[in-house]
Amino acid sequence: MAKRQLGGAGGSKLGQLAISTAETSAADRPAIKRETVGRRRNHTVRLSGTEESRLQRLVARVSEEAGRPIKDSDLLRGLLVLGEKADARALVDAVRHARSDMD
């Protein structure tokens, strides 16, 4: 409650209340357990010129289908959802194909 001693009020009711509250409040209160998910990290992805143009074409296609502008980050979130449902083998093949397109 009080962060510092009340000057000259130690013997008054208010001074005694502040001292007793400061001593007992920390002991009486249970510890707060906070479930932390962990720090969120910003992810930066470097795309080549070809990959950047492919992403922009995909954003344009999806935006046209949605009838409103779609952000790159929203499209990537959607692709992550699709990736969770996809077969891992198909994803590995797609990654290999994407890497070979870069070379």
Q: What does the alpha-carbon distance between residue 26 and residue 28 come to, in Å, rounded to a whole number?
A: 6
Judged against a pLDDT cut of 60, whether residue 90 lies above it is answered with yes
b or e along 17-36 (b: 16 or more beta carbons within 10 Å of the residue's beta carbon)?
A: ebbeeeeeeeeeeeeeeeee
Judged against a pLDDT cut of 80, whether residue 85 lies above it is answered with yes
| pLDDT at residue 99 in the model | 82
Residue 9 — φ and ψ, nearest 5°?
-105, 15
User: Tell me: the pLDDT tens digits for 6-56?
Assistant: 566 667 777 777 666 656 555 677 777 777 667 777 778 888 888 899 999
Q: With 0.75 as the threshold, say if the pTM is over it.
A: no
